[in-house]
Amino acid sequence: MIRRISSGGEFEARIGYCRAVVAGGFVHVAGTVGQGADVVAQCKSALDTIGGALEKAGSSFADVVRVNYYLPDAAEFEPCWPVLAEAFGANPPAATMIECNLIDPKFRIEIEVTALAAADS
């Protein structure tokens, strides 16, 4: 069974995707950007959106097994480390950081995660 979770974001309908998909025992959360004046604020905002999607799926940051970070400037990643360490706490996932262009230059970080789904999801 596949369950799709929408956050109502503006790009979901325009591009044709949803915030998260629960399938095959996993929650796949789409790449998520956040709002804010700098990379740290955007990181926190993106994590809030991701946390909401995980909650709707019956999961949490403790269940995340994989995270990918996308930044247009790799030098901006280190300021996010304390925020990320707090979000994942004692349950750090496997991680990859990729330097690349994002959909709009105003975005400084995009985050996607894969988490274990609850047994009844």
pTM equals 0.94
H or E element in which residue 86 lies: helix 81-88
Q: How would residue 37 be classed by pLDDT, with cut points 50, 70 and 90?
A: very high
pLDDT for residue 25 is more than 70: yes
Please classify residue 59 by burial: count the beta carbons closer than 10 Å to its beta carbon, then call 0-12 exposed, 13-18 middle and 19+ buried: buried
- Return mean pLDDT, the chain: 95
pLDDT for residue 11: 81
Do the Cβ atoms of 35 and 41 come closer than 8 Å?
yes
Q: How would residue 22 be classed by pLDDT, with cut points 50, 70 and 90?
A: very high
What's the mean pLDDT in 36-52? 98
